[in-house]
Chain A
Amino acid sequence: MKLAFLFALMFASCTEAPKPSIAILTPTTHPSLEQIEKGFQDTIESTHPGQYRIVTYNAQGNKTLMRGEIEKIAREDHALVFTIGALASQMTTEVFNKKALETPVVFTAVSDPSALASGKHVTGVQQILDFERELDLALQYKPNIRSILLVLNPMEPGIAKDGQEVQAILSQRGISLIPIEVFQTNELIGKVSPFIHNADAMIVLKDNTVVSGLDPLIKLCNKAKIPLIASDLDSPDRGAAFGYGVHEKEFGVEAAAMALQILQEKIAAGDIPVRPVSNFTFKVNRDAAIAQGIALQ
């Protein structure tokens, strides 16, 4: 009898319920995406240590591989799926919809969430930008700006719309905008150089093409003594005079808070409204600002 009890106890300890798992789908390797992923993981781990098993799937920019990963995630019994960026989010929700899966999906860093399949299993964090405030703050440092160069890749998701928003804000203030469209990083110098002396400042959006090739733009701005205004917080560390935005990690932190609402409080994903990350920060790189002609007190 005692032996049977002992065996039963051993069996019970061996068959401990497996931890619920969370799948993260990230489209490629990129510092911003890594920060978002870290923010999500750290939040989950710090609030519920050891309670969830987190599995990351990185598609390495390969769409066929991403589809294969989504198929695998769909087959497995994950408690929740966290997707980063528009493409991964849209592909995941599309495949899950077609398979009629009820696994909750939390997306992050998506500018236009309306494109995502609607349903009670999807929610997430929207990426918004506040150009009005960004320009206000930059103008405090250089009030005599009369024309601004906007370097953008209109093919990046949401960038053309952001560009139009910037143009509208500037025209209200009587500032002229010189938009320069680039489609690849190697076009930056060639297309921007001829216009650099016609502008009093340069602004870049949250545009992967332009931000990844920011260094030549920094050199041009240093040479022409005009401030470079970035719409993210990493660019001032690289040499932009100003940066306005949210810390990328916040996209992960906010999404983790939503994930925990779903997992811990058992709230349906569809009942949690899509919300933006709103704690914006204005960052000034003092040395860069001086190099770019800003007289700091």
Chain B
Amino acid sequence: MILSMLEQALIALPLLLGGYITLSLLKLPDFSLESAYLFGAVMAYVAKDCPLPCILLSATLGGIVVGSIVATMNQLLKLPFLLGAIITNGLFHGLTQYILGTSMASFHPALPCSEPLLFSLIAVSLIAILGLLLRSQMGYSLAIYGNNPLFFQHHPISGRSVLYFGVMVGHGCAAIGGSLFAISNGLVDLTMNFGVILLCLTALVVGKSIIRTESPNLLIPLVGLIAYFCIQQTLLQLGFNLKYFNSFQALFVLGTLCLLQKKKKLSLDHLGV
């Protein structure tokens, strides 16, 4: 049980890391993560005959494209971020349909090693890269932007670049998550992105309630994700009627937030993460 839970957590970890950057650090209502997740899988599928690094690069670029579009809508076209994310979801819904050409496609790329090892290597690499990033000036700038986007008006750093950079990195990570999910399940499905934002929010809320720190910390998505799959597998093990899993998930987030707010141990922003 623990091994399969860890494997699932490794698959979803890039998505959660991306969600942590855009939802938690930048504090953006970034529902276009769902598009990046799917588009990453579709772009990985497009490069299916190439070696694995090219497949992952193709997926990451797909995510970066989604991120750059939503950031452009927000920064250059001055649309509210949520509206930009919704429009981006609409655009990429059509684009993924066009590229994939069907609702479901088999996907079996050649892997250089076993899946668990591959997913572990990707997870370790991403954590190392993002860990270094968050310790850099840009990393702190992401957190500062989330707390006060106007901060950069009075400093020689461009707030726009911080947002572009954060959103593109976040979406790139989410896209890698989508490609790993597709590799692991042997298929790309046009509905595979449904509900991933709820997974991100739930895991981040749980992670934040366990790891209480105001500074950027990758343990939040990591612990949150493991806790999420622990809860999911425990419910399955207990024979909980999974017809109501989504409601349970929503109630669980609500309960956790209410409890922590009541005890004044957690300050909530507009996303609660």
Contacts and interface: CB of A to CB of B under 8 A. Distances in A.
A67 B236 contact: no
A131 B232 CA distance: 43
A22 B93 CA distance: 37
A120 interface: no
Contact of B102 (A29, A117, A155): A155
Contacts of B51: none
A98 B185 CA distance: 10
Contact of A160 (B102, B115, B196, B237): B102
What is the interface residue range for chain A against chain B?
20 to 34
A199 interface: no
Contacts of A157: 102-104
A52 interface: no
Interface in A41-87: 57-65, 67-69, 71-72, 74-75, 86-87
B154 interface: no
Contacts, number: 89
Residue from A57, A60, A115 having most chain B Cβ neighbours under 10 A: A60
A63 B191 contact: yes
Nearest to A91: B185
Given A71-B8, A155-B102, A63 B236 contact: no
A59 B242 contact: yes
Interface of A: 29, 57-65, 67-69, 71-72, 74-75, 86-87, 90-91, 94-95, 98, 115, 117, 155-157, 160, 183
Contacts of B245: 60, 62, 65
A87 B181 contact: no
Contact of A94 (B1, B186, B243): B186
Contacts of B186: 90-91, 94, 117
A140 B190 CA distance: 39
Given A156-B103, A157-B104, A68 B189 contact: no
Given A74-B4, A155-B103, A64 B115 contact: no
4 A-B pairs closest in CB distance: A94-B186, A71-B4, A155-B103, A72-B236
Given A71-B8, A156-B103, A157-B104, A61 B233 contact: no
A156 B7 CA distance: 30
A186 B229 CA distance: 35
Contacts of A183: 93, 97
Contacts of A71: 4-5, 7-8, 233
Nearest to B244: A60
Contacts of A155: 97, 102-103, 190
Given A64-B199, A72-B236, A90 B106 contact: yes
Contacts of A67: 8, 11, 181, 184-185
A91 B196 CA distance: 18
Nearest to B229: A68
A117 B190 CA distance: 20
Given A75-B4, A91-B186, A98-B115, A69 B195 contact: no
A191 B86 CA distance: 23
Nearest to A92: B185
A74 to B, nearest CB: 7
Given A72-B233, A160-B102, A64 B187 contact: no
B194 interface: yes
Contacts of B236: 57, 68-69, 72
Contact of B242 (A58, A64, A94, A95): A58
B73 interface: no
22 contacts: A57-B236, A59-B242, A63-B181, A63-B195, A64-B196, A64-B199, A65-B242, A67-B11, A68-B236, A69-B242, A71-B5, A71-B7, A71-B8, A74-B4, A87-B104, A90-B186, A94-B185, A98-B115, A115-B106, A155-B97, A155-B102, A155-B190
